[in-house]
Amino acid sequence: MEIEKTRGYGIAISDIEGSWDAAFKLKLKKTSQKIIMKQISFFQKIQLLYWFYKEKKKAANLDLSDIRARGMINVSFIKQQLEYISMFSALTKVLDKDRALKIMYLVMEATAVEAFLKSALKIEEIECFGDSMEFFRKYMSALPEASTKAGCHDMIISENTINCFQLDVHWCVYYELAKKMNVPEACIPNCYVDDLAYPDYFKTFGIKYTRKETLAKGGKCCDFRFERI
């Protein structure tokens, strides 16, 4: 099989997430709600529902023309992200940003790996190509063009050798949507997902994953680095 024909090749992350089936989305939603509600009191639950409704209404009225102009027209993805951001924002109204972050970290810890593995290539799908590092270098080389076209990320390949591959993200739709809702911190748990899912997955193929900075935490870019072990 050619790399170009492997599952997920040349597809932006936003389009992958936007294509999750309704049953899987519902499963993630139920798990998330259960964790969130467990962290707050009965009175806070009432407050949360009130603010969640308010924030969802605010999200529905956002001007997304600049984001759509970049190519982001995946309605399912946008709805999914704005619902998450609305919940984060609602939590900050009931609690505070630090507590909201801690709760969303718990949510990601319970859901991130399963969500990632749902779309990630299986070991046997990659091993048939021989050198895993070489496979991922070619596989991920298609991401900048696909991500730009989908309006998901603006990224460049800053290093590409036989032992190292680095992608630098300079614009991120997850972060931009969070900023439009006035809670840029809502993107930080999304970044945390990568740190939960990527290290063990890539280690399986003899690859070390690292990231020193993110846009959401004030970095000049999100520097995704993959090195042969």
Average pLDDT (50-59) is: 98
Burial of 115: CB neighbours in 10 Å, binned 0-12, 13-18, 19+: buried
Distance CA 191, CA 66 (A): 23
Half-sphere exposure of 77 (CA within 13 A, CB side): 20
pLDDT > 80? residue 1: no
Tell me which of 1 and 157 has the higher pLDDT: 157
Amino acid at 155: M
Average pLDDT over residues 11-34: 95
pLDDT of residue 215: 98
Burial call 183-203: b when 16+ CB within 10 Å, e when fewer: bbbbbbbbbbbbebbbeebbe
Amino acid at 62: L
pTM to 2 decimal places: 0.96
Q: What does the pLDDT look like over 83-132, one tens digit per residue?
A: 999 999 999 999 999 999 999 999 999 999 999 999 899 988 998 888 99
Cα separation, 96 vs 99, in Å, equals 5
The domain spans of the chain are: 9-228
- Please give the pLDDT value at position 127: 87
Model confidence at 220, pLDDT cuts 50, 70, 90, reads very high
- pLDDT score of 170: 98
Distance CA 216, CA 211 (A): 13
pLDDT band at 2 (very low <50, low <70, confident <90, very high): confident
Digit-coded pLDDT (tens) for 24-51: 999 999 999 999 999 999 999 999 999 9
CB 180 within 8 A of CB 169: no
Can you give the pLDDT at residue 95?
A: 97
Encode pLDDT of 156-205 as tens digits.
999 999 999 999 999 999 999 999 999 999 999 999 999 999 999 999 99
Rounded Cα distance, 124 and 41, in Å: 46
Q: Which amino acid is at 205?
A: F
